[in-house]
A and B are shown apart, each in its own frame.
Chain A
Amino acid sequence: MTASRKCVLVVGSPRGAASISRVLGAYLLELLAAGGVAVETVVLPFAAVTAEGFAPAMTAVRHADLVVLSFPLYVDHLPAPVIAFLEQYQAALAQSVGHKPAIAALIQCGFPETCHTRPAVEIVRQFAMETGLAWHGALAMGMGGAIAGQSLKKGWLLRRQAAALAMAVEELRQGRPIPAQASELFGRPLMPRWLYTLVANWGMKRGVRQARNGVRADAQPYLAGGGKS
């Protein structure tokens, strides 16, 4: 195994620099940098899903020993722009010779259960298999809706996730995959599921009450013949 000299974080969230995906990835990069690894962050442009829009990311990963793909779960899967990036990356790798980086995934979803992320983990791993990249594993978690504003460096809520990231970095720095123990720890719930669900439903109901313009929350605008409105 070759130690990682350069790690590139690819953020695949529409919220870009302000996203939870970036926050989680930034903490990982900070730990890697403290261990002497050069780091760089690129954000995939959701407004420019084109070869031109992806050019900075494509340039960055070309020089990486480790690519960390960080994204929110969208419909049990990767967001479409992230898939488009992987499609383009696959085409570029097919034409390149020489060194190929390792790849790892960092995934969070809004459902309370981590199991929702399983297909997405498998898809990034399959991308690695089909392109000849070394698969360095994934850290995936649920309850993403509770992360905003929380600290990984101090505070109680994300203590397991912070410990898991530190555990993962220790191996990634040496050019080794994320250990299963780190993945398991990262995926542990932040709070009881019933509590997260209660707060999430309350938050949504409150949001709907405050925001809607006399339209029912369960309106059916596309139903032929007129639905609830």
Chain B
Amino acid sequence: MNAVILDGSRAGDPPAFTQKVSGLVAERLAEESCRTTVLPLATMNIRPCVGCFTCWLVTPGRCVFKDDQEQVLTGLANAGIWVMVTPVTFGGYSSVLKAALDRVIPVLLPFFIKVDGETHHPQRYPAARRLVMIGTLSRPNPESERIFRHLVSRNALNMGKPETAVMVFTEGSDDGELRRELRRGLACGEQRS
């Protein structure tokens, strides 16, 4: 199966814990025999979305900006497993990951449909089978983690409701524990409690 990892580490994040977790994710996916594309977003040229709707109305599925976001769109369109790694930022995603997610609108269709009684957009491509969202914290922050999990559950509804796993790792976690949690979260997509 194809997998894509969107690494939302901010450039210069000390001490690169988020990048370390991304690396462990790639290792684990390789052990699962996944063909994995790793996208270090902080090093990529991705302009902010300007909400022009060109990707819906003028050039369906294609953004008006031609930059490194095309690698993200190609990765997502062809992967059965979407993994996103980010420092938990006020309970949400880093600006680095969010810049790429804002520009992911081309993978949706412009119309409204009902999902679980709410309005959402249909998918343009076959929906990912699994979404794995991994957040990192420099120290424990239960409220921030709660908001993060809530946000991911909302995002999953907008991404075609794939099997979703959310993991939050705090800096200083034992490597063995990280690997065990990743083995569980990446193998069967169950929620970490």
Number of A-B residue pairs at CB separation under 8 A? 166
- CB neighbors of B among A100-129 (8 A): 111-113, 115-116, 118-119, 122-124, 126-127, 129
A205 within 8 A of B: yes
What is the bound-complex CA distance between A74 and B101, given in angstroms? 9
B110 within 8 A of A: yes
| Size range of the chain B interface in the assembly | 35 or more
Query: Nearest chain A CB to B62's CB is how many angstroms away?
Result: 5
- CB-CB under 8 A for A14 and B51, given A119-B150, A211-B57, A222-B125: yes
Q: Judging by beta carbons under 8 Å apart, are A77 and B98 in contact?
A: yes
- CB-CB under 8 A for A77 and B92, given A126-B143, A193-B119: yes
Q: Judging by beta carbons under 8 Å apart, are B60 and A126 in contact?
A: no
Chain A residues contacting B151 (CB-CB under 8 Å) are 76-77, 119, 122-123
Residue ID in chain A nearest B111 by CB atoms: A201
Chain A residues contacting B102 (CB-CB under 8 Å) are 74-75, 79-80
Residue ID in chain B nearest A13 by CB atoms: B51
| Size range of the chain A interface in the assembly | 35 or more
Chain A residues contacting B104 (CB-CB under 8 Å) are 75
Interface with A: B16-24, B70-78, B165-173, B179-187, which one?
B70-78
Q: Judging by beta carbons under 8 Å apart, are B93 and A216 in contact?
A: no
Chain B residues contacting A220 (CB-CB under 8 Å) are 61, 77, 124-125
